Copies of this chain bind each other. A is one copy, B any other.
Amino acid sequence: MSQHPFPKVTVWNEGKHEKISKEIRELYPDGMHHAIAKYLKEKGLSVKTATLDEPEHGLTNDVLADTDVLTWWGHMAHHEVSDKVVERVYRRVMDGMGLIVLHSGHMSKIFRKLMGTGCMLNWREAGEKERIFVVEPGHPIANGLPASFEIEHEEMYGEFFDVPAPETLVFISWFKGGDVFRSGCCYRRGKGKIFYFRPGHETYPTYYHPQVLQVIYNAILWAAPGSGPAIQTGHCPVPFEPLE
């Protein structure tokens, strides 16, 4: 019934931490992207993965043309992402591709370009408890969730989060150390839908957490492209109505 019952997903991961750190590799032997991709496949989605070190970061024109929703995790190598690929992803978002930005992806070139702000925040790596509250219980990204859920150990991200006010704020996080954070933020840019989701530090098993995975899945369905009108702008010399 929906135009995109089975969105095609590309799970993008910088993929550096997993190579460098034995501890992280033990958590995610094939990289965080594989943990996410495995879950999404089990839910019935069509899923590819791509990483920084592949040619064109795995995001060729063909791959992007065949992607309905792109998920993005990056941290230590944002600057290594080529401007050309950023521009390519940007064009696809304008054209309707969904984009799910995960955790430290807040400082990625593509997210900052789409937001128009610095996108920085406060942070602390202390493995503290996070509790995520649903503040839009009727939103599709809240499907299947309880009123709140906990992540036992996570990096802290705290306000102020330097983004435009989200068009819809779905989640707010509580942290044991005394901070709060707007953890689930919906935006629209061009024809594309964007969702920022906070959790996912590389040293914790966050991408095995059932509610975290549920949110990513929900967000993908929400961000899948629709079949609204193409963006066509420019000179329109002939008016709809006579001017005399």
Residues of A that sit less than 8 Å from B by CB: 1-3, 5-6, 44, 94, 96, 113-118, 120-124, 126, 128, 131, 133-140, 142-148, 156, 158-162, 164-165, 167-169, 172-180, 182, 187-193, 221, 225-237, 239-241, 243
Chain B residues with Cβ under 8 A from A226's Cβ? 138-140, 142-143
Copies of this subunit: 4
Query: Could you tell me the distance in whole angstroms from the C-beta of A158 to the nearest C-beta in chain B?
Result: 7
Query: Would you call A147 and B180 a contact (CB within 8 A)?
Result: no
Query: Would you call A133 and B159 a contact (CB within 8 A)?
Result: yes
- A120-B234, A137-B191 known; A164-B164 Cβ under 8 A: yes
The CA of A45 and the CA of B50, in the complex, are separated in Å by 39
Query: Would you call A165 and B168 a contact (CB within 8 A)?
Result: yes
Identify A144's interface contact among B116, B189, B227, B235, CB under 8 A. Answer: B227
Nearest-CB residue, chain B, relative to A177: B239
The CA of A2 and the CA of B1, in the complex, are separated in Å by 10
